[in-house]
Amino acid sequence: MGTGYPCPERANPGQCVRPAQRSGWLNLRVTSVDQFAYGWITPALALAMSMLGGLLGTFLTSRSRAFTGARRTRWLTLAALAIGGSGTWVPHFMAMLGVDVPDTVVRYDILTTALGFGIAVVVYCLGLYLVGFGPPSLGKILPAGVLTGIGLTAVYATGPLSMRVAGVVAFDPRTLLIGLGAAIVSAIVTLWCVSVVRGLPSMVCAAVIMSFAVGSTHYIVMAALRVTPAPTTAAVPGVTLFAMLAPVCVLACVLLAGLAYSTVGFTVRQDTAREEALLSQARDMYSLATFARGRERDRGEPAVPSHR
């Protein structure tokens, strides 16, 4: 079959699956689920994407402080798209690439998977709207973090809920509750970073902290996943994550490029406007000086008084 895995006799012989293996440090077994089936590659990709999204989101939020009203809302929406889309959902998708259930094929429902993207952007919009207007305060960041964290738990849960396997997918309530707490802490940390942090070095440090918060929350929620295989001869519906990898990569590139262009374009426009204002001021001063010299010549007075 070209998979390298043994294929037992099945009604659908195309469903060749990876057999169960011994767990290792980078191949953690959570009941029958492998979260690191491809080693360190998937968590590294997830952390990198999360850091880029968090950095862009922090930068966009800092830009929003220069505006008020609807214009600030637009900048905060772009920041939510960066943090929720590029910084949360895309890393979640990348980390899900490493999930494998031995002795069964794993497929995913496209609509449920895409639903996580929408939830991530919406909950970060709400959180940033709550903390993005007025001076930052703990009284705004904490409730906004709780609201955003509950939404993030739903985002991370869409991955397992979209799974289609030959068996039953469920969650362990206690572990999921711990994941909810981790999501709330992660959201509070993220909203605090984007509200308080100033300067590029601090923004980079904040993006690193945010990426580790996102990654740890994902794996804690995934630790609540429980799969009970049930052998069946029916084909498992859905598509593989690798089939969705190309569209998601295109989406991530478009998001990052568009948001980066927004930040760079704003900086260029701001610098251009500042330079034009200085040039206009210099032209006005030159015109006044020329006018003053002309009047002095008309009166027969020296333009510049001599000092002896």
DSSP 87: I
The rounded distance, in Å, linking the Cα atoms of 289 and 251 is 56
Contact (Cβ atoms closer than 8 angstroms) between residue 116 and residue 92: yes
The rounded distance, in Å, linking the Cα atoms of 259 and 262 is 5
Q: How would residue 120 be classed by pLDDT, with cut points 50, 70 and 90?
A: very high
Residue 105: its pLDDT value, please?
81
Residue 181: its pLDDT value, please?
92
53, 152, 167, 31: which is closest to 105 by C-alpha?
Answer: 167
Looking at residues 164-178, what average pLDDT do you find?
84
Quote the pTM value: 0.73
Q: Encode pLDDT of 129-150 as tens digits.
A: 999 888 888 889 999 999 999 9
Q: Encode pLDDT of 59-81 as tens digits.
A: 888 888 888 888 889 899 999 99
Facing residues of 168 across strands?
228
Looking at residues 204-215, what average pLDDT do you find?
88
The three state secondary structure string of 61-86 is HHHHCCCCHHHHHHHHHHHHHHHHHH
Q: What is the DSSP annotation of 19-58? A: PP---BTTB-EETTEES-TTTTHHHHHHHHHHHHHHHHHH
The rounded distance, in Å, linking the Cα atoms of 218 and 212 is 10
Residue 180: its pLDDT value, please?
92
Return mean pLDDT, the chain: 78
Q: Encode pLDDT of 14-60 as tens digits.
A: 333 344 344 343 334 444 677 887 788 888 989 999 999 888 888 88
Residue 270: its pLDDT value, please?
60
Looking at residues 205-219, what average pLDDT do you find?
88
Share of the chain above pLDDT 90, in %: 18
The rounded distance, in Å, linking the Cα atoms of 278 and 283 is 9
Looking at residues 270-291, what average pLDDT do you find?
69
Range from 97-101, 178-182, 247-251, 293-297 carrying the lowest mean pLDDT: 293-297
Q: Token digits for 205? A: 């440090």
Question: Domain boundaries in the chain?
Answer: 29-272
